[in-house]
A and B are shown apart, each in its own frame.
Chain A
Amino acid sequence: MDTPVAVRGRGITKVFGDVVALDRIDVSMTQGQIHGLVGPNGAGKTTLLGLLLGLAAADEGSLEVLGAPVGRGSAAPRGVSGFVDGPGLYPTLTARQNLAALVALRPDEATAAGAEEALEQVGLADVADDRVRGFSLGMRQRLGLAAALLTKPRLLVLDEPSNGLDPVGKKDVHGVLGRLAAEGVTIVMSSHRMDDLEALCSEVTILANGRVVFAGPVSKLSDDNQELDYRLRASDPSAARAVAAATPGVALVDGRGTPARPDTDAIVVRARVASVDGLVAHLVREDIALRELTPLVSPLEAAFLALTEQEDHR
């Protein structure tokens, strides 16, 4: 049985002057999933998010959001919320006033109680009566998320929601997004933080030059990827180096140009996942304790770099 689709677009094109922001792309986003949108600057991420939020209409193609067609002459359907290009708050108003103003605008979809609940959810209840002028970037992001949650959205569209968040704030926001997804809310979020996307997203779309260069589960992206660089620390570095050199499919890398810490005796190897598995087994057989094995670049980031570079060369 097919999973319900929250967003379905076919042949979407958006042009600004001479710039083709989106070039006949197809998109499909499953309901209840957190869908990541990745791409270099100018790839068309914000344009796509803007179309989902009803800020603009596609020049060509069809877009269906929450089962309703969205096009010229119609805004995004009820149930869609979110922000692009920052959370959009009024600095002269307090956090509570910002949300209350939104409740007053949409009383049929939001309530004052909901505003209090949203403030609690994002951990801003204690500063609800402070003016937003004094908020840090992270606090603004969280308040923006609270504003987006006010109308109980079924599709939440977020542009860089983790931007400026400290580790605690990020954990809180991730927790909220995870809960929402578990409740069936579809979340589309863009981010430049691959670790965020890997931690949260079950699906990802990579855009480059207004085109989709990959779309699908994150796991598929890492499976399909080419070799990755791993930093490896072991109890006997020399022996580990020899074992790595002898393991099929594993190549030693000199470490230059990689972020390996210079104060450690780590070695850097390049291999596919299967070969790394073989290396680990080989080390264990040789009684060499493995203390660290970390990809230098996350699978998603590696795929992102590879795919977008390919697109740039086309």
Chain B
Amino acid sequence: MTTSLTNAPAPGSGGGAGAGAGAGTGVEAEAGTAGGRPVPVARIVRFELLKQFSAWRVRLLIGLCWLGPGLLVFAIDQQSTLPSDTLFGRWMHATGWAGPLVVLGVAGTWALPLLTSLVAGDVFASEDRLGTWRHLLIAVRSHRRVFAAKAVAGLTVIGLLMAGLAVSSIVGGLLAEGNRPLVGLDGHLITGPDAAGDTLLAWACVVAPTLALAAIGLLGSIALGRSPMGLVLPMVAALAMQLAQLLPLPVAVRLALPGYAFLSWNGLFADPRQLGPLLIAVGVSTGWAIAATALAYRLFLRRDFTNLNNDGAGRRGLTWGVLPLAGLLAATVGVLTVATGASGSGITQDKVQRSVATAFAHLYRFQQAQLRQPPVTEAQLQTSASCDKSEGLDAQQGSGNDWRCTVSWTVPGYNATAQAVYQLNVTANGRYTADGDGPVQVNGYFLIVSAGKAAPNPLWQFDGDVDLLAG
């Protein structure tokens, strides 16, 4: 017998329609319920990876990331002109460890945000585009596990791409110049093995901000559905953070941005290492990665997958995506302001003077060694620097290309004081380039003769870093 179907009373005759409108539509089956058993996460991850690797875009990215940086570093190394406007670029002829650091700097600015966009920004949206959500959820029987597997698979691909960038650039650098000492950001020489460790550590440090961008990508992919904005959200976020880093923001705001670790790895190459900003940046990035993933998870579980017209985009995405992260940023700024006691730009006259004097002293000794002069100690040099900004007319702090420093040191063996002038371009994150402005015997020539061969003059132009949190 077939049971006849009857209709219940019309709406409005009492109750019925209001409960849970659109909310909590996710259905979850776990062991012990009447539903079929959900698929283990590992199997779903394998399925997600199969889909990822079957896409030509991902295969192309893998090829580019594992081959491109190595070839690029090797090719640049063969040129006579080096990218001296990038950090460590001027040392690419001196050591194989400069190349991977140049690549790391560029990756933090462009490549890693782009990769997170293309992978994490699409990992959920692709199911919307292909119309496969329902198919996947029916097969897997668990929204939670689908989220977990997609997140793991996306991060796995990003990790693979990132590893490619690092390994390829290191191999390219070592093949081109070998495992030779690297000149650090304050001019001190870092031995080959130490440079290897620091380089790997620097790449490891940018995992955290990459994860933060990936989590923002997951959030955008869920909150914005098929919209192209979901795909480009990590790029947009990274670009916005880079623009913010160019602005004269207070240190606490700068450190509270999840992309700061893309810059603060520089501190590993100073002596002593500037670990404060780096650790804070890594912590902030990790916090953002967790928060954005949690928000994405929440949005995903609340999405209705039976409504064909709903791809999850809408006001809820704004409410549960943007606003909590804005709150996190504000809270982080508050906590960092109190915890670090930092105020203003973090770039003061005293810090600039100390940094320039230290870097000069290290590089002077390096130059003397290149010139086969008797070795000198920093104690003998008694280097100091006197710096002013805007010829002393403005406040003597903050970023700008109007810093000018006069470095003084005792000339070994002559008991006389010499001076050299440098023009500084200090960026808002504390990094600076010191450009020699005489005398010509010290920093006027681009090249010097070392052991009968022309070599770059380390005092002609050098990079340095002001610790924004130092006392």
Whether A17 and B4, one on each chain, are in contact in the complex, defined by CB atoms closer than 8 angstroms, is: no
A75-B36, A105-B47 known; A8-B16 Cβ under 8 A? no
Question: Quick check: is B374 within 8 A (CB to CB) of the other chain?
Answer: no
Out of B29, B139, B307, which one reaches A105, CB within 8 Å?
B139
Whether A88 and B131, one on each chain, are in contact in the complex, defined by CB atoms closer than 8 angstroms, is: yes
Kindly provide the distance from the CB of A300 to the nearest chain B CB, expressed in whole angstroms.
16
Out of A23, A50, A69, A73, which one reaches B16, CB within 8 Å?
A23
Question: Quick check: is B395 within 8 A (CB to CB) of the other chain?
Answer: no
Which residue among B28, B39, B138 has the maximum number of chain A CB atoms within 10 Å of its CB?
A: B138
Within 8 Å CB of B50, what residues of A? 93, 97, 101
A3-B2, A46-B306, A55-B134 known; A75-B28 Cβ under 8 A? yes
Out of A33, A53, A93, which one reaches B134, CB within 8 Å?
A53
- Docked CA distance A24–B3 (Å): 16
A15-B22, A54-B138 known; A89-B132 Cβ under 8 A? yes
- Docked CA distance A110–B7 (Å): 38
Out of A16, A89, A90, A214, which one reaches B304, CB within 8 Å?
A16
Nearest-neighbor residue (CB-CB) of A205 within chain B: B5
Whether A78 and B37, one on each chain, are in contact in the complex, defined by CB atoms closer than 8 angstroms, is: yes
Digit string of B128-159 for contact with A (CB within 8 Å is 1, else 0)? 00111111111111100000000000000000
- Docked CA distance A69–B34 (Å): 6
Q: Which residues, 44 to 92 on A, are CB-close (under 8 Å) to B?
A: 46-47, 50-51, 53-57, 59-60, 68-70, 72-92
- Docked CA distance A239–B408 (Å): 124
Within 8 Å CB of B51, what residues of A? 90, 92-93, 101
Whether B54 and A20, one on each chain, are in contact in the complex, defined by CB atoms closer than 8 angstroms, is: no
A50-B134, A86-B131 known; A25-B5 Cβ under 8 A? yes
Whether B5 and A51, one on each chain, are in contact in the complex, defined by CB atoms closer than 8 angstroms, is: no
Kindly provide the distance from the CB of A3 to the nearest chain B CB, expressed in whole angstroms.
6
Question: Quick check: is A278 within 8 A (CB to CB) of the other chain?
Answer: no
Interface residues on B, range: 35 or more
Digit string of A4-25 for contact with B (CB within 8 Å is 1, else 0)? 0100100101111110110111
Within 8 Å CB of B304, what residues of A? 16, 56
- Docked CA distance A60–B138 (Å): 22
- Docked CA distance A70–B28 (Å): 11
Whether A55 and B5, one on each chain, are in contact in the complex, defined by CB atoms closer than 8 angstroms, is: no
Question: Quick check: is B393 within 8 A (CB to CB) of the other chain?
Answer: no
- Docked CA distance A233–B43 (Å): 62
Nearest-neighbor residue (CB-CB) of B40 within chain A: A105
A23-B11, A28-B2, A105-B140 known; A77-B35 Cβ under 8 A? yes
Question: Quick check: is A277 within 8 A (CB to CB) of the other chain?
Answer: no
Whether B6 and A26, one on each chain, are in contact in the complex, defined by CB atoms closer than 8 angstroms, is: yes
A interface, by DSSP: helix, strand, loop or mixed?
Answer: mixed
A70-B35, A72-B24, A105-B47 known; A83-B135 Cβ under 8 A? yes
Digit string of B1-24 for contact with A (CB within 8 Å is 1, else 0)? 111111111110001111111101
Whether B17 and A20, one on each chain, are in contact in the complex, defined by CB atoms closer than 8 angstroms, is: yes
- Docked CA distance A28–B2 (Å): 7
Whether A74 and B35, one on each chain, are in contact in the complex, defined by CB atoms closer than 8 angstroms, is: yes
Out of A2, A53, A216, which one reaches B5, CB within 8 Å?
A216
B interface, by DSSP: helix, strand, loop or mixed?
Answer: loop
Out of B16, B35, B134, which one reaches A13, CB within 8 Å?
B16
Digit string of B148-186 for contact with A (CB within 8 Å is 1, else 0)? 000000000000000000000000000000000000000
Nearest-neighbor residue (CB-CB) of B2 within chain A: A30
Q: Which residues, 80 to 109 on B, are CB-close (under 8 Å) to A?
A: none
A23-B10, A73-B27 known; A56-B2 Cβ under 8 A? no
Whether B17 and A55, one on each chain, are in contact in the complex, defined by CB atoms closer than 8 angstroms, is: no
Question: Quick check: is A106 within 8 A (CB to CB) of the other chain?
Answer: yes
Question: Quick check: is A240 within 8 A (CB to CB) of the other chain?
Answer: no
Out of A18, A105, A216, which one reaches B43, CB within 8 Å?
A105
A13-B16, A105-B44, A106-B139 known; A2-B21 Cβ under 8 A? no
Whether A55 and B306, one on each chain, are in contact in the complex, defined by CB atoms closer than 8 angstroms, is: yes
Which are the 6 A-B pairs with shortest beta-carbon distances? A88-B135, A215-B5, A24-B8, A50-B306, A28-B3, A75-B29
Question: Can you list 30 A-B pairs with a CB-CB distance of less than 8 A?
Answer: A3-B1, A13-B16, A21-B306, A24-B7, A25-B5, A26-B6, A28-B2, A46-B308, A54-B35, A56-B305, A59-B20, A68-B35, A70-B34, A73-B29, A77-B34, A81-B138, A84-B134, A84-B306, A88-B133, A92-B56, A93-B51, A97-B54, A104-B46, A106-B39, A106-B139, A108-B37, A211-B10, A212-B7, A216-B4, A314-B10
Q: Enumerate chain A interface residues (CB-CB to B < 8 A).
A: 2-3, 5, 8, 11, 13-18, 20-21, 23-28, 30, 33, 46-47, 50-51, 53-57, 59-60, 68-70, 72-93, 97, 101-102, 104-108, 144, 147, 203, 205, 211-217, 314
Q: Enumerate chain B interface residues (CB-CB to A < 8 A).
A: 1-11, 15-22, 24-30, 33-39, 43-44, 46-47, 50-51, 54-56, 130-142, 304-308, 310
Additional pairs, 16, CB under 8 Å, beyond known A82-B138, A212-B6: A15-B21, A55-B27, A55-B138, A57-B27, A60-B19, A73-B28, A73-B29, A75-B27, A77-B36, A85-B131, A89-B130, A90-B51, A102-B139, A107-B43, A147-B135, A211-B8
